[in-house]
């Protein structure tokens, strides 16, 4: 067989060398030479790998759907599964019946939203003498630091036990700030610590509804509340995020809490038992997901977590595409890097059962944090379009159409009000899968950007204030607009998919060009930055 191939090459060499040979014809001949022995087998292998990953994701989503239905029917509310009693002040011993709670609010140049979380926690329905509010400000802007400090002093003058803490350096970023905050003498009497990012606004009864679970169930280390979004209707970008995050909270967190008493801490909107933090080794800054890192380590120590889906905390979604991309890089790169660092530690752990270890390794990390991103990008944006150009390789319709449709329907249960946006959500998720896959590979291979930390920009009321302002906007900066708005990778994929779509329209038989042309439009919209809120210069 090898001899026949060599003979073919020798026969074609004169034509390839001919001075009058057409360049396109020469390239076609070279392509035909490598197509059968190399391109077809490699592409066929890629199809098999993608189908396997797709089935892994399908089984995971189906399992989640079945479990969440059973939980809703048979398990009941957390108050029935765990011991819970309402908090009441004792007339004899006064407020000492309430445990001391530390509230940590990490910040970094949060000009637009710094008042939100401070005001919310200072209005908690909790005895002020049993509450310590700690604002951990790592801001580099001195004007913002002054504003935050003044806000803390304003609440302190009203009798709130609030302290303003800064650091010399931002070592460890958020993890470093939270870790240092726990070392101060004035928090040593606190049993629990609640954490809220600067844009989070918990309701006044947040502690009254959550702390009793920790008091009466000593095996519970973490209470996680559900996020709700105040700006979900701001633009199409925020609606897309709401759909993804609602599935995460309504299904993934609920299933993990109900079946294994384990899930990933979301970094904010939750309460930790300080003893559990200390036993797990405290906060670490070895990845960009310090919250997930702590949760996994605490889970391996045998601690249980409880998710309260009825306890809501309002927050803000990133509404600019640039901020969203940075956030998704951190959220995708961090878990992959943590999986790399903790895989053997999870395998060797002897304090949790095998079923829980399998759940953490396979379901929590491998399927949700790695496979889900990669199969979305490689299968639907690379492999499937390439099979159009190489008709010798076919993708079965159950893998190209039926399985993805079922997975999409299962994902949609989190946000019924956005069911009409489901098809565009698929196309947008395919675009974002490029960034998530790249970040996942960076985390797995621990490349240069593995520990890149960019704080997600929050706008608060900035857009409304800019719209109401009568002042003239500053001149636009062409370079920054080009850098932030024009994304060459997305535009490159738009061109690639357009070529595949045209070829399928002219020569194909599966009519994939309908999907491809719609995907081209979505990649182009993202490539020119026409996504999300556009902030005036």
Q: How far apart are CA 262 and CA 276, in angstroms?
A: 14
Q: Which two tokens stand for residue 411?
A: 């994902």
Q: Which two tokens stand for residue 107?
A: 């910040």
DSSP labels, 327-346? HHHHHHHHHHHHHHHHHHHH
Distance CA 194, CA 479 (A): 42
Instruction: Kindly state the tokens that stand for 414.
Output: 């989190």
d(CA 153, CA 101): 20
DSSP 461-523: THHHHHHH--SPPPPP-HHHHHHHH--HHHHHHHHHHHHHHHHHHHH-SS-THHHHHHHHHHH
Tokens standing for residue 242: 């709401």
Can you tell me whether residue 423 is helix, strand or coil? Answer: helix
Torsion of CA 239, 244, 250, 253, to 10 degrees: -140
Q: Distance between CA atoms of 24 and 273, rounded to whole angstroms?
A: 68
- Catalytic residue list: 138, 291
CA 411 remoteness from chain centre = 15
């Amino acid at each position: 067989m090898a001899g026949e191939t060599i003979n073919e090459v020798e026969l074609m060499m004169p034509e390839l060398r001919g001075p009058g040979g057409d360049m396109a014809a020469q390239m076609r001949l070279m392509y035909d030479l490598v197509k059968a022995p190399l391109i077809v087998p490699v592409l066929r292998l890629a199809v098999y790998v993608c189908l396997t990953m797709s089935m892994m994701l399908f089984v995971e989503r189906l399992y989640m759907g079945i479990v969440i239905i059973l939980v809703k029917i048979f398990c009941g509310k957390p108050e029935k599964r765990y011991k819970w009693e309402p908090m009441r002040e004792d007339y004899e011993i006064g407020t000492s019946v309430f445990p001391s709670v530390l509230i940590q609010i990490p910040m970094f140049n949060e000009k637009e939203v710094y008042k939100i979380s401070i005001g919310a926690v200072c209005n908690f329905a909790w005895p002020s003498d049993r509450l310590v509010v700690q604002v951990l400000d790592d801001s580099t802007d001195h004007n913002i630091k002054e504003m935050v400090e003044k806000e803390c002093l304003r609440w302190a003058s009203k009798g709130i036990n609030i302290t303003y803490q800064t650091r010399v350096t931002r070592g460890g970023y958020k993890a470093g700030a939270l870790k240092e905050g726990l070392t101060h003498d004035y928090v040593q009497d606190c049993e629990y610590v609640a954490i809220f990012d600067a844009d989070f606004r918990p309701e006044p009864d947040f502690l009254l509804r959550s702390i009793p679970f920790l008091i009466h169930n000593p095996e519970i280390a973490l209470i996680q509340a559900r996020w709700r979004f105040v700006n979900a209707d701001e633009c199409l970008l925020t609606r897309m995020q709401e759909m993804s995050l609602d599935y995460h909270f309504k299904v993934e967190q609920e299933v993990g809490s109900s079946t294994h008493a384990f899930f990933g801490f979301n970094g904010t909107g939750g309460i930790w038992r300080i003893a559990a933090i200390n036993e797990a080794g405290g906060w670490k800054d070895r990845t960009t997901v310090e919250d997930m890192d702590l949760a996994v380590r605490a889970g391996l120590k045998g601690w249980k977590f409880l998710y309260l889906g009825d306890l809501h905390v309002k927050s803000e979604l990133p509404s600019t595409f640039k901020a969203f991309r940075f956030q998704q890089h951190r959220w995708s790169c961090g878990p992959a890097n943590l999986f790399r660092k903790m895989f053997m530690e999870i395998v060797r752990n002897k304090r949790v059962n095998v079923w829980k270890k399998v759940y953490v390794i396979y379901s929590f990390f491998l399927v949700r944090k790695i496979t889900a991103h990669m199969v979305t990008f490689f299968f639907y944006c690379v492999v499937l379009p390439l099979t159009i150009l190489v008709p010798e390789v076919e993708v079965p319709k159950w893998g190209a159409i039926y399985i993805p449709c079922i997975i999409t329907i299962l994902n949609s249960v989190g946000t019924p009000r956005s069911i009409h946006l489901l098809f565009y959500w698929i196309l947008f998720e395919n675009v974002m899968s490029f960034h998530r896959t790249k970040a996942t590979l960076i985390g797995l291979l621990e490349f240069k950007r593995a520990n890149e930390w960019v704080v997600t920009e929050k706008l608060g009321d900035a857009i409304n204030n800019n719209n109401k302002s009568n002042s003239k906007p500053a001149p636009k900066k062409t370079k920054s607009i080009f850098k932030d708005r024009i994304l060459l990778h997305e535009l490159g994929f738009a061109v690639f998919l357009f070529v595949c779509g045209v070829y399928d329209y002219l020569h194909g038989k599966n009519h994939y060009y309908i999907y491809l042309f719609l995907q081209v439009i979505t990649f182009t919209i993202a490539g020119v930055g026409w996504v999300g809120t556009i902030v005036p210069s």
